[in-house]
Amino acid sequence: MDLSDDEDCNSSPNSQMDLSDDEDCTPSPNSQMDLSDDEDCNSSPNSQMDLSDDEDCTPSPNSQMDLSDDEDCNSSPNSQMDLSDGEDCTPSPNSQMELSDNGDRMFAPQWIFDSD
């Protein structure tokens, strides 16, 4: 019943219960629950839930929600909403609404400039 230092996991049915130091055992189903440092995200469906430090995983749909530092604005429809630091993005229609510093006044009626 105490197999803490036993590398042969086939010795008894209870040998699968403690796998903390055993590298030769077939992992139990619960071994897939913690994939924080696992780069192979295809091991279980839950592996897609934490992609914070994983570069090799296919991103989940939620990965497109934060584009604050993303220069490629074609990644999702919401990417056009914040263009404060995006120099390469196609401007949204709202970018034409503020022309306060535009020196071209040829569209204003002439009587606005006549102070007499």
Report yes or no on 26 lying in a domain.
yes
Q: Work out the percent of the chain whose per-residue pLDDT is above 90.
A: 0
Whole-angstrom distance, CA of residue 76 vs CA of residue 37: 28
Number of structural domains found in the chain: 1
- Note the pLDDT tens digit of each residue in 47-102: 455 555 555 555 555 555 555 555 555 555 554 555 555 555 555 555 555 555 55
Whole-angstrom distance, CA of residue 78 vs CA of residue 65: 8
Angle at CA of residue 64, ends 58 and 79, nearest 5°: 140
Q: Is the pLDDT of residue 115 over 60?
A: yes
Residues 6+ away with beta carbon under 8 Å from 9: 3, 15, 16, 19, 22, 24, 25, 26
Which runs of E-coded beta strand occur in 32-115?
none
Q: Is the pLDDT of residue 25 over 60?
A: no
Instruction: Tell me the residue range of the domain where 63 lies.
Output: 16-76
pLDDT band at 103 (very low <50, low <70, confident <90, very high): low
Report yes or no on 81 lying in a domain.
no
Q: Compute φ and ψ for 96, nearest 5 degrees.
A: -90, 0
